[in-house]
């Protein structure tokens, strides 16, 4: 799978977890993470699966240690605050850690790709 296709697939996972549905009347988008969070205990643990998958794929795609640490921080904060009844559910609606993590990965890979292109000798394009 190409890097672009892999990022797009991770973006779909993040969208499902963070923004799949629009709440009527208020128009805010929520995902499966917010819905699972309504189930005490098990919901927050279940939401860690896709978040962990995004971090795992980022590792396999060559994400740096600082980037992986930032992604784990985003996920950890989301999980920790998500365990607080009501406050965690409201936080999940605004935080969108999965989408943040995929955006960080995309930015990192684009920067890495740009640095590799800059390193090519004159007259050679990438």
- Per-residue pLDDT for 122 more than 70? no
CB 22 within 8 A of CB 29: yes
pTM given for the model:
0.86
Domain boundaries, the chain: 3-113
pLDDT reported for residue 24: 92
Q: Running DSSP on this structure, what letter comes out for residue 21?
A: E
Q: Running DSSP on this structure, what letter comes out for residue 24?
A: T
Confidence of residue 40 (pLDDT cuts 50, 70, 90): confident
Among 25-29, 88-92, 103-107, where is mean pLDDT lowest? 88-92
What are 63-86's pLDDT values in tens digits? Answer: 999 999 999 999 999 999 988 888
Which H or E element spans position 22?
A: strand 21-22
């Amino acid at each position: 799978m190409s890097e672009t296709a892999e990022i797009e697939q991770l973006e779909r996972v993040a969208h499902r977890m963070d923004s799949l549905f629009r709440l009527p009347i208020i128009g805010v988008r929520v995902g499966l993470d917010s819905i699972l969070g309504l189930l005490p205990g098990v919901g927050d643990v279940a939401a860690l699966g896709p978040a962990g998958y995004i971090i795992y794929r980022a590792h396999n795609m060559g994400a740096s240690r600082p980037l992986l640490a930032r992604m784990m921080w985003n996920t950890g904060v989301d999980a920790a605050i998500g365990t607080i009844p009501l406050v965690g559910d409201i936080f999940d609606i605004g935080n969108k850690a999965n989408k943040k993590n995929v955006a960080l990965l995309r930015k990192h890979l684009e920067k890495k790709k740009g640095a590799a292109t800059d390193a090519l000798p004159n007259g050679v394009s990438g």
